[in-house]
Chains A and B, each alone.
Chain A
Amino acid sequence: MLRLGKKRKQKMILSNVEIHDAIDKKRLIIKPEPSPRTMGVAGGHCPYNTHSVDLRLSPEIVIPTTGKFSYDMVQAGNLAQLIKAHSQTLKLTADQPFILEPGRFVLGKTLEWIELPITANCEACLAARIEGKSSFARLGMLVHFTAPTVHPDFEGTLTLEMINLGPASIILRPDMYIAQLIVEEVKGCPNRNPSQFQGQRDAVGVIGGEVARAS
């Protein structure tokens, strides 16, 4: 098997075998770890596809509420609190799933906690992308429709913006496989801050009138 030498250094999407290796080496942390790693003869669901790993839906979903207000993303103040105040959180159970009606938008999150650590020597740093699954796409459901990139150094669960664009209701159950994570190697060692300045207002992310650099 030709995996060594120059070919090995290419940066690309990780296969399921490479995802297992990254998990074993703590370059990719997924808690709880998806299992089983391979399909047994007894069948069942193996969360690892050829180059992705399926993630499950957390029991909690957040339902934005309607009202006579608008969100202004450039306003000063506690916007997060305003968003929180106009939302309702539900905890799903196997017996009480959530019925996502056509046209309805809710927030969910992955059951799994994801970490993509940047190691001290910055060797083989990983990034990832969260994507929906084709089965939900056929029903007209978007599982995650904005900013799919999971940056190096990320720690946390992944928030899912779910909307049903299809004609029929879709039942959301806790622990159901809802999304897939595609993992890829990053070429070079990332500076920890530069991209996060983009799109910011002048007063933020700026020191002495110039964009600061970590060194």
Chain B
Amino acid sequence: MTAKLSYLRCEATPGQFADEVVIAGKDHSGEEFSLFANRQFVETEQAPHEESSVPVLLRVTELAKDGELVLIRLPSQTLANGQTITVRSEELEDAPAWQEA
């Protein structure tokens, strides 16, 4: 399988540095993961703010696929589990929907 660019549905709030965000998402088993990512890797309709998280699409690379499970590489390391995780394919998009219109 050739590595493929994709977008993972996540939630984001501002990060420690001005150009980063805190990303929160769920892996295939429903377990939450989190990471700091540069804003360059995030597509969103509204800027993340401190009050509550906003939905974002995180740019990821698909590495392998098996049915509904997709192995992806995140743009940076998660706090607890490295940079590669498995998610459900339904959580991935080929491109941000608001860019297609």
| Interface contact A60-B17, CB-CB below 8 Å | yes
The answer, yes or no, to whether A74 is at the interface (CB within 8 Å) is yes
Which residue of B15, B27, B34 is within 8 Å of A78 (Cβ)?
B34
A171 within 8 A of B: no
Interface of A: prevailing SS: loop
B64-A214 in contact (CB<8A): yes
A83 within 8 A of B: yes
Taking A62-B17, A80-B34, A156-B76 as contacts, is the C-beta distance between A207 and B66 under 8 angstroms?
Answer: yes
Given contacts A89-B16, A207-B86, contact A78 B63 (CB under 8 A): no
Interface residues of A in 46-96 (CB under 8 A from B): 58, 60, 62, 73-81, 83-84, 87, 89, 91
Residue in A80, A197, A203 whose beta carbon sits within 8 Å of that of B22 in the complex: A80
Tell me whether A135 is interfacial, beta carbon within 8 Å: no
Instruction: Name the interface residues of B35-72: CB closer than 8 Å to any CB of A.
Output: 35-36, 38, 40, 61, 63-64, 66, 69, 71
Interface residues of B in 64-86 (CB under 8 A from A): 64, 66, 69, 71, 73, 75-76, 79-86
**A212, B63: Cβ atoms under 8 Å?**
yes
Given contacts A207-B69, A208-B69, whether A81 and B82 have CB atoms under 8 Å apart is no
Which A residues are in CB contact (< 8 Å) with B97? Answer: none
Residues of A within 8 A of B24 (CB): 78, 80-81
B3 on the A face (CB < 8 A): yes
In the bound complex, residues from chain A placing their C-beta under 8 Å from that of B18 are: 60, 89, 91
Instruction: Please tell me if the beta carbons of B34 and A214 are within 8 angstroms of each other in the complex.
Output: no
CB 8 Å contact bits of A176-206 with B (1 = contact, 0 = none)? 0000000000000000110011111101111
In the complex, A199 Cα to B85 Cα: how many Å? Answer: 12
With A60-B17, A83-B16 already in contact, the answer to whether A78 and B32 are too (CB < 8 A) is: yes
Q: Does A215 contact B (CB under 8 A)?
A: yes
Complex contact B71–A212 (CB within 8 A):
yes
Q: List 29 A-B contacts (CB under 8 A).
A: A60-B18, A73-B79, A77-B34, A79-B34, A79-B79, A80-B15, A80-B34, A83-B16, A84-B13, A84-B16, A107-B16, A156-B75, A192-B3, A193-B63, A193-B64, A193-B84, A196-B73, A197-B84, A204-B31, A204-B81, A205-B71, A205-B84, A205-B85, A205-B86, A206-B86, A207-B86, A208-B69, A214-B64, A215-B1
Apart from A78-B32, A205-B71, what 4 extra A-B contacts exist at CB < 8 Å? A80-B34, A192-B3, A203-B29, A205-B86
> Which residues of B line the A interface, CB within 8 A?
1, 3, 13-19, 22-24, 27-29, 31-36, 38, 40, 61, 63-64, 66, 69, 71, 73, 75-76, 79-86
